[in-house]
Structure 1
């Protein structure tokens, strides 16, 4: 009970004094930018190599993935440049946030393993069709050393940073202190899990999202949740390469 109370009360994020219209514009920009940049990157790469865009081609998929993810960074940069707001956060230092992230990753991953097994068993019992996420299939499909290196960079570094900016840095950040903690976590984690478009990964990713929200809230620094997300994707990537892919 003492630990739960510490988690509930340990909030280093002050209420974010951001205009709801500005927040809505950011979300719209991310969604629109994701669509436009993914298409632009894919078409641009296809033009450079003199081929038609083929979404089944690994290089085209990688280029599209970079465009999809980087839209959130572009939106964040524009937001920081054009929108002024006051912050009374008390964030931990970069070094401490990384340490918190490493410790948080260990705890969250240990909690995810049984939840993943139970969730998979339930869906199997209900006779749902098992499908791997697209990144798993892409890694299993293989490619040139350059292609696989870029894919690893996208999965392990780019995606965690960009997704944390959107789901924790903006969505959860906006909901924090505006609604109850449970509602804020449920909304941000639910959207985070749904956007991965995989039923078997929904519950594990929902739990992961909740853990990321709590760690970000406790540290007040987005670096902590980025650290967890990077380690999570890295471990899963190594599992795909050397062991057996798990559906997370």
Structure 2
């Protein structure tokens, strides 16, 4: 008599989570579509950042210099640890990689605001709202937007597969940190990576990409092109072909969330929700015996 195979709990949880997201998204879209026009409140929007191309290029060059200098200095200071890893990305090196990218970006932003306030100390927010008010805008926007991101990922993956079969590109790989989080490792280092992904990265990247880059392009063109351009730049920072187009959609939706709340808190919470959801799915994948591994 064959033994009864136990159901794979991570698979069940992942399925329930995905179905709940799809169902919630459908309900929220129906509520949005069926809402009477007289009850629709226009988005407060965000002020453009009218600093001119010269100051904007100074800002971009300062970011590039800050990131490059910090990463070169980090590679020198931690050369023994890097050498000991023998080319493998360990959890601790993952934490280091994240900090050496996020810290200089935020430092450049703070220093420019401090020492050149006339050009770089513009207000990021149009509305002053609480975290709860921002969450009430960002979380429904995230639930509505997540299936769109999934749908856009499918044709992009198919297109990359065609390019790969034609010999135009090599097989795209997931982001190194995504693979690292899925494979596990030192628990404390993994917790730090989770903290960086859910808290540090949303705060820093939203400040730079939505609070600065998006608002600058909004001063140079109309709303949609500004959102698309800043989203492409945001996606390029992640240096991953497999996630390039999905991250463009994420960047676009983050700009929409920023406009919807009139406050950077809304896009930060949206970003944190997206990263948190991704981490939960990665964790369930890593402990499942059925779900294919990355």
What is the TM-score of this pair, normalised by structure 1? 0.84
Which residue matches 1:136? 178
- Which residue among 73, 76, 88 is the counterpart of 1:56? 88
Greater shift in the superposed pair: 82-91 or 233-242:
82-91
Which residue matches 1:234? 276
Q: CA deviation at 1:25?
A: 1.9
CA change 1:228–1:55 in 2 (3 A) is: farther
Which residue matches 1:117? 154
Greater shift in the superposed pair: 105-114 or 13-22:
13-22
1:142-200 Cα deviation digits (max 9, x unpaired)? 22112211222222222222211221111001111420112211211111112222222
Which residue matches 2:66? 33
Q: Is 1:90 aligned with 2:129?
A: no
SS of the residue corresponding to residue 200 of structure 1 reads coil
Q: CA deviation at 1:201?
A: 1.0
Which residue matches 1:170? 212
Contact preservation (8 Å) 2:202, 2:272: yes
CA distance in 2, matches of 1:208, 1:164: 12
The unaligned stretches of length 5 or more in structure 2 are 1-32, 286-290
SS of the residue corresponding to residue 127 of structure 2 reads coil
Contact preservation (8 Å) 2:127, 2:261: yes
Paired residues for 1:156-235 under 5 Å: 156-235=198-277
CA change 1:21–1:130 in 2 (3 A) is: closer
Q: CA deviation at 1:208?
A: 0.8
CA distance in 1, matches of 2:237, 2:262: 25
CA distance in 2, matches of 1:18, 1:68: 25
CA RMSD of aligned residues (A): 3.0
Which residue matches 2:189? 147
CA distance in 1, matches of 2:193, 2:129: 30
- Which residue among 99, 105, 117 is the counterpart of 2:142? 105
Which residue matches 1:22? 55
The unaligned stretches of length 5 or more in structure 1 are none
Q: Paired residues, what number? A: 244
CA distance in 2, matches of 1:72, 1:168: 13
Contact preservation (8 Å) 2:125, 2:264: no
Contact preservation (8 Å) 1:46, 1:60: no
Q: CA deviation at 1:44?
A: 3.0
CA distance in 2, matches of 1:38, 1:84: 27
